[in-house]
Amino acid sequence: MTERFYTTSTAFLEALAEAGVPYIFANLGSDHPGLIEALAQARADGRDKDLPKLIVCPHEMVALSAAHAAALVSGKPQAVIVHVDCGTQNLGGAMSNAMRGRAPVLVFAGAAPYTMHDELPGSRNEYIHWIQDVHDQRGIVRGYVKYDNEIRTGRNVKQLVHRALQIAASEPAGPVYLVGPREVMEQPLDPAAVDPSGYRPVEPAALTAEVANEIARALATARKPLIITGHLGRDPEAVPKLVELADLLAIPVIESGPVRVNFPADHPMHRGWQFTTSEQNPLLAEADVVLIVDSDIPYIPSNNKPSPDAAIYVVDIDPLKYGMSLWHVPARRSAAANSKVALAQIAAAVQENGFDPDLVEARRTEVTAAHDAQRTALDALERPADGVITPRYLTACVRDLLADEDALVLTEAITNFQVVAEHLQASKPGSLMGSGGSSLGWSGGGAVGAKLVSPERTVVSLVGDGTFLFSVPSAVHWVARRYGTPTLTVIYDNRGWRAVKQSTLGVHPAGAAAAADDFNASFEPEADLPAIAAAAGGAFAATVDDPAELPSVLKDALAAVHGGRSAVVAVHLPRAQGSE
């Protein structure tokens, strides 16, 4: 007969379940006996279905990346448990990605015990309890979370968990961080219920009627209006609202940041993607009215900007970008609003105020022709070059492979981000996703999290070779096999860090590094990247050089995934540095 306890740890887990958190992505340690015991007791009592399922992650980067993707795909906040200060530090760049990607995730870390003579259950009894007693554990992540707090008593732990999740899920969503020392997590309690319905996320904000009318009038009377968006597609339901407005007035749309389906690629008003684009976009230069909706970086002004005479409007849940020290768009009006709500308001105001149909129809013809020409030009580039697989050809092969799949593509293709968007031509809202951040390696854990919450979908990651290594692939593929989350990974394998080379060329185009092709960006000698996944998780592994073989290898890999086994295919592209 084992002892039975109800502790802060039990209440913490119950609160997560009450809030609808399905998974805890965990990397455990000496700070977690209370949680481990509570989970084991629940299993012994047959109550484990009432608590979130714990997914063991052998690296914290994988845990938080998985939680990030799971939260965004499912629309439900997720939880991560890590080990005191060192596990928190190992979250590393995944924390920055979760912040920039607006992922509602509660991260819990234990903290060193604060008693050492066995005064309380959980008191120090291990060597490392002294080493892990640091000045400011919460400070490690404070710049990246919306809220951080310490659980000081089990008596209000449920309140803290629900409040933290309410803050995480309210727009702009983002990670939150709680710590709990061992003694607190071991504190015996009487069970207490908290009504989670009192902790709903804040309701979406609308435009004032005055601003909705002004934007509607400006767009309706513009000669060359333009819409720029970057992450509106985080909410797939916002996409049809943007389509409605673009259709109504025949407004061309540019996606700045090619990691979401913000606007269907096959829509005649789609006029292309921007990323680190070095040329001036003529549409932006010529536009007389620009509506920027949900975009963190609408353009890079050093080489691509609107006309000084353009009337610019910004609609964004965070139009001032509080999380960025330097940011400015010379907007006539900036409004903090939810894009789905705001776009419907603007479209309704256009309908009400009326517009010139001749002007709109003439523009529709013109923009549609430009869209078609753009598509034709891109299609013509989808060929291998002299027996070499190009990123565009590879992406076209992936697109064709997925034509009949309910696919969710995670993109971390780095210098091929824009190429992926241009040739994947994703048009279904919610079918393309990036981390939203800049810390490489998100898609490894991300694929696991996405597949866990959408097992019916075919999850595919398109990643750079450097990015594959950042993702801690050994941990990713161990988790994937253990929890049955088979996905396909396609490595855009230029055998180096092409981005690092490009950044150097961007500043020193004629420097010594350029003259000698000496960028410290080569991955010679080459590692067998797919073999890492095979060793760690039994994945199907292949490397492809020959363009003619590529479609059939991808097909075999996808068949392996459908058979329940992950697959990793490295596709050799022209080298990032050095010649073949």
Ligand X SMILES: Cc1ncc(C[n+]2csc(CCOP(=O)(O)OP(=O)(O)O)c2C)c(N)n1
Hey, what are 153's tokens?
């008593």
Closer Cβ to ligand X, 235 or 465, answer by number: 465
Query: How near is the Cβ of 491 to Mg ion at its closest, in Å?
Result: 8
DSSP at 190:
-
CA dist., res. 497 & res. 513, Å (int): 14
Query: How near is the Cβ of 511 to Mg ion at its closest, in Å?
Result: 21
Among 418, 443, 494, 566, binds Mg ion (CB under 5 A): 494
Query: How near is the Cβ of 413 to ligand X at its closest, in Å?
Result: 7
DSSP at 480:
H
Query: How near is the Cβ of 523 to ligand X at its closest, in Å?
Result: 8
Q: Which does 27 bind (CB under 5 to 8 A by kind): ligand X, Mg ion, none?
A: none
Query: How near is the Cβ of 499 to ligand X at its closest, in Å?
Result: 3
Contact between residue 491 and residue 443 where contact means Cβ atoms under 8 Å apart: no
**What is the residue type of 157?**
V
147 contributes a contact to ligand X by CB under 6 A: no
Q: How many residues bind ligand X (CB under 6 A)?
A: 19
Query: How near is the Cβ of 103 to ligand X at its closest, in Å?
Result: 17
Among 109, 251, 344, 440, binds ligand X (CB under 6 A): 440
Q: Which does 439 bind (CB under 5 to 8 A by kind): Mg ion, ligand X, none?
A: ligand X
Closer Cβ to ligand X, 275 or 313, answer by number: 275
Give the number of C-alpha atoms closer than 13 A to the C-alpha of residue 98, restricted to the C-beta side. 39
Hey, what are 447's tokens?
């694929």
Query: How near is the Cβ of 69 to Mg ion at its closest, in Å?
Result: 22
Pick from 238, 267, 237, 234: nearest CA to 253 = 267
Residue with tokens 């705001």: 342
* Cα angle value 500/501/503 (rounded, 5°): 65
The span of 72-80, 224-232, 297-305, 488-496 binding Mg ion (CB under 5 A) equals 488-496
Q: At 205, is the secondary structure helix, strand, or coil?
A: coil
The span of 19-27, 129-137, 373-381, 436-444 binding ligand X (CB under 6 A) equals 436-444
CA dist., res. 297 & res. 295, Å (int): 6
Closer Cβ to ligand X, 234 or 501, answer by number: 501
Beta strand spans in 268-330 (E): 270-274, 289-293, 311-316
435 contributes a contact to ligand X by CB under 6 A: no
The residue with its CB nearest to ligand X is 464
Positions in 475-504 near ligand X (CB under 6 A): 494, 496-500
Pick from 166, 188, 189, 191: nearest CA to 176 = 166
395 contributes a contact to ligand X by CB under 6 A: no
Closer Cβ to Mg ion, 310 or 491, answer by number: 491
Query: How near is the Cβ of 50 to Mg ion at its closest, in Å?
Result: 45
Query: How near is the Cβ of 338 to ligand X at its closest, in Å?
Result: 30
576 contributes a contact to ligand X by CB under 6 A: yes
Residues 6+ apart with CB under 8 A from 552: none
CA dist., res. 491 & res. 281, Å (int): 30
Among 306, 444, 464, 530, binds Mg ion (CB under 5 A): 464
Contact between residue 109 and residue 155 where contact means Cβ atoms under 8 Å apart: no
489 contributes a contact to Mg ion by CB under 5 A: no
Among 465, 522, 557, 569, binds ligand X (CB under 6 A): 465
Q: Which does 388 bind (CB under 5 to 8 A by kind): Mg ion, ligand X, none?
A: none
415 contributes a contact to ligand X by CB under 6 A: yes
466 contributes a contact to ligand X by CB under 6 A: yes
Report the b/e string of 498-525 with b at 16+ CB within 10 A: bbbbbebeeeeeeeebeeeeebebbbee
Pick from 93, 87, 98: nearest CA to 28 = 87
CA dist., res. 220 & res. 439, Å (int): 40
10 contributes a contact to Mg ion by CB under 5 A: no
439 contributes a contact to ligand X by CB under 6 A: yes
CA dist., res. 135 & res. 152, Å (int): 17
Closer Cβ to Mg ion, 41 or 494, answer by number: 494
9 contributes a contact to ligand X by CB under 6 A: no
Pick from 261, 254, 255: nearest CA to 230 = 255
Q: Cis peptide before 306, with omega less than 30 degrees from 0?
A: no
Which chain residues interact with Mg ion by CB under 5 A? 464-466, 494
Which chain residues interact with ligand X by CB under 6 A? 93, 414-416, 438-440, 464-467, 470, 494, 496-500, 576
